Structure 1
């Protein structure tokens, strides 16, 4: 064999060895990448978008926060996709409202908890109250976020659970985040009280499309006259007698506005106004869901400020 042929053959062998080595490196990279994406960053999964906003303020950049409920959705009826259900089961921590709010998601949360995933039911840990009227009377009221003081407590609870269960987070950073957010919520509480203090006591009466503002009423001195849907969930329906009873109560109390959730059609409130022949405005509020950016309630703080202005305007002096 000539010297030139031997050299050419050695180069071909070396080339094949190099390609084999590169293929091995690429395969290792793919395998490592799959393992990395499977573990990835530490993960906190949150059911509702209101709790999602609170949790993101507490967690900051310390972990990935995945929120299941889209902007504008109804927490009583929204569901999750298969990938979202899988994310719940893989999470380092699941944060949910509890008290029966997320009716179509609770089985996934329960399955994750049974599989050993740490789960925080925030509503159950912030001194919940019960409904006082309607079909849900004496049942736990899940709408705790309408009381900003309880949201401040929730931020601390979330921070504690994150630092205990989520791998790799900086406890000091999470603590500072929770403290800073708590200060913003405290400022919100003070501002809300100042706005509501401008409403005469005889006009501090609330009628909503369903029972959702019990916590706000308790915190700021309102009386809940009733709800178009006499229940704590939007999945219920009022009867003709329910509407008649509410119309009578509105007329007796001299209520000037019905507050309807912006994520729900206000058809029932409009029907009540039309059928009862009473003079009452229908005012939209962002009570159970945040909006997309620019739609008026993209964050919890923005939502509560918008609601406060609407309530103060709707019930304020003429």
Structure 2
């Protein structure tokens, strides 16, 4: 009888321990499981996956065609953010509707604005508001390298056991970004300097223009929340006529309505302008495609611009 009681006690004791272990795993993840990372835009999700490799599990809440300036988080997004071990977002007011959410999340877990880690002297100001920095830093590859290093450093802080992995992956990815920068410079040599004018729906490409010697003209401001007027459209039409520019570009995450107004207005003045192609600005392509990666997206933009303006 005593032996039976002892066996019963041992069974109950181990059952209790297993139950506690299970609860602990549910709450925080078991040792050896990948770090759960949630990002806002897919550009950040892509560099996090490159740096983290198998040590991370990455999910981006803003997919193809989504405009981060106007994005409102839904309940499912809040749940994903709550479940994450670390959150990466761009910052500099790119995700304009989500500021309060990030403030709350950073009280509970690492919540990192990767663009805000870039030295202030490297940031471009909004031409309309000099006190506001342009958030579209991924269009300067040299700045995106710094964002990549920020992701690496934050993952190491959270998961020091995998420091060697994060360092090795980052070194390999930075080398790929060097190759991408070389490719872009070589391709743009095909475009005459007087033709290096990039007309788009909104001012997402100022870093790009600064890096590669393009005059960038956006119908709307840095944020797609800003509107445009008839005089804004006319000003761009005058520039197209004066500089004999034949191509303008639409963006995957912005309505074509504004650019179509420019094309039609130029046509009425006897100046033929065509849509030079679709560029990826605030969002990348579909997951699983070349354009669904940062490098693939950037190469697509380079090739599209060169094909239209050379």
**Please, what TM-score do these two structures have when normalized by structure 1?**
0.84
Q: Deviations over 1:207-259 (max 9, x none)?
A: 110001111111111112x2222x11112221111111221122222222111
State the partner residue of 2:126.
131
* Residue 108 in structure 1 maps to residue 98 in structure 2: no
Which of residues 280, 291, 298 is equivalent to 2:292? 298
SS at match of 1:244: helix
Question: Structure 2 vs 1, CA of residues 23 and 234 (structure 1 numbering), >3 Å: closer, same or farther?
Answer: farther
* Residue 35 in structure 1 maps to residue 24 in structure 2: yes
* Residue 76 in structure 1 maps to residue 66 in structure 2: no
Task: Give the C-alpha shift of residue 265 in structure 1.
Answer: 2.4
Equivalent residues, number: 297
Q: Deviations over 1:66-123 (max 9, x none)?
A: 322123311112233334324434544321111100112222111112x142232221
1:159-308 aligned within 5 A = 159-164=152-157, 166-167=158-159, 169-224=161-216, 226-229=217-220, 231-277=221-267, 278-282=271-275, 283-293=277-287, 297-308=291-302
State the partner residue of 2:308.
314
Task: Give the C-alpha shift of residue 304 in structure 1.
Answer: 0.5
Unaligned 5+ segments in structure 1 are 1-9
In the alignment, is the contact (CA less than 8 A) between 1:89 and 1:111 conserved in 2? no
In the alignment, is the contact (CA less than 8 A) between 1:257 and 1:315 conserved in 2? yes
| Structure number with higher strand proportion | 2
**Please, what TM-score do these two structures have when normalized by structure 2?**
0.86
| The 10-residue stretch of structure 1 (36-45 or 97-106) with the greater mean CA deviation from structure 2 | 36-45
In the alignment, is the contact (CA less than 8 A) between 1:92 and 1:167 conserved in 2? no
What is the alpha-carbon distance in structure 2 between the residues aligned to residue 39 and residue 202 of structure 1?
57
CA-based RMSD: 2.6
| The 10-residue stretch of structure 1 (232-241 or 117-126) with the greater mean CA deviation from structure 2 | 117-126
Larger Rg, first or second structure (1 or 2): 1
State the partner residue of 1:153.
146
What is the alpha-carbon distance in structure 2 between the residues aligned to residue 106 and residue 267 of structure 1?
29
SS at match of 2:55: coil
What is the alpha-carbon distance in structure 1 between the residues aligned to residue 131 and residue 215 of structure 2?
17
State the partner residue of 1:7.
none
In the alignment, is the contact (CA less than 8 A) between 1:210 and 1:227 conserved in 2? yes
In the alignment, is the contact (CA less than 8 A) between 1:286 and 1:307 conserved in 2? yes
Q: Deviations over 1:40-82 (max 9, x none)?
A: 1433321111111011101112233232212331111223333
SS at match of 1:254: coil
What is the alpha-carbon distance in structure 2 between the residues aligned to residue 72 and residue 21 of structure 1?
58
1:1-80 aligned within 5 A = 29=18, 32-40=21-29, 41=33, 42-80=35-73
Question: Structure 2 vs 1, CA of residues 32 and 242 (structure 1 numbering), >3 Å: closer, same or farther?
Answer: same
What is the alpha-carbon distance in structure 1 between the residues aligned to residue 272 and residue 15 of structure 2?
72
